[in-house]
Amino acid sequence: MAEENKLNGVIKPSIYFTDKRLEVLLDEIRRVSSMLKLDSNIEMKALDLAQELYKDGVVGKIGERDLLVLDAFAIVYVTCKLNEVVIGYKKLIKNIRKVSIRVKKIRKNLNKRVKKIVQSIRPKEYKNNIYLYVEHLAKEAFLSDRVLKSAKKITKKIVEEKLHVGRDPNAIASAILYVASILEGEKITEKKMSSIAGISEVTLRKRVREIIMKL
């Protein structure tokens, strides 16, 4: 009987493929889990998530083997986040460099993969709802209710000005929270906020400047 994987409140059956690229991806996830010394339960959830993402064409379909390795790290990272297992981004990057993959701009490429995975598994109601992104990232960053309340006020202004239209909601939400945390004296670093959101620090700074100009 196939194992079941509960993701975002929806129970999905594990689906096993014979595709060679998927086999490589799953092997890499096992290797990453071992490197990070993760619990076997987290490893199994990462394997199940990988199969769902592969089936939907989110990961693993194109690119060299080194890109599959990055996909594996991204999947394991997201799985840890979903299950409240703390794995620092710095530690993740350090372990990626240990496997000596031939990929330039590792952090940037990893961010892109994490972001793509997160967006693919979020419920449909997240689409264009910037408030949900703000709430989600606030929880991920362990920000206080005071910061979240301030962020919601800023979000209302941003929505009224339609500043979020045509922009990455993840980037806008992270910038809103960054500004709110400063206003409330609960500053979070650009590096930490951008890592949690899966965007670059440059992108975060751009969105922050745009938001400040509207306040």
Residues 13 and 73 in one domain: yes
Q: How far apart are CA 161 and CA 129, in angstroms?
A: 15
Residues 97 and 133 in one domain: no
Q: What percent of the chain shows pLDDT beyond 90? A: 40
Q: How far apart are CA 49 and CA 125, in angstroms?
A: 20
Residues 20 and 115 in one domain: yes
Residues 34 and 104 in one domain: yes
Show which of 55, 90, 121 is a domain's final residue. 121
Residues 93 and 62 in one domain: yes
Q: How far apart are CA 95 and CA 62, in angstroms?
A: 23
Identify the helix (H) or strand (E) that includes residue 12: strand 10-13
Residues contacting residue 77 through CB under 8 Å, at least 6 positions apart: 87, 89, 92, 110, 114
Mean pLDDT of 32-42: 93
Residues 11 and 116 in one domain: yes
Q: Which residue has the higher pLDDT, 11 or 115?
A: 115
6 pLDDT more than 70: no
Q: How far apart are CA 185 and CA 7, in angstroms?
A: 35
Give the mean pLDDT of the chain: 84
Show which of 83, 100, 121 is a domain's final residue. 121
27 pLDDT more than 90: yes
Residues 79 and 139 in one domain: no
pLDDT of residue 48: 94
Residues 140 and 170 in one domain: yes
Among all chains, which residue has been given the structure tokens 């409330």?
184
| pLDDT classification of 8: cutoffs 50, 70, 90 | very low
Provide the domain limits for residue 89. 4-121
Overall number of domains in the chain? 2
CATH of the domain at 13: 1.10.472.10
Residues 72 and 135 in one domain: no
Mean pLDDT of 167-194: 92
185 pLDDT more than 80: yes
The answer to pTM > 0.85 is no
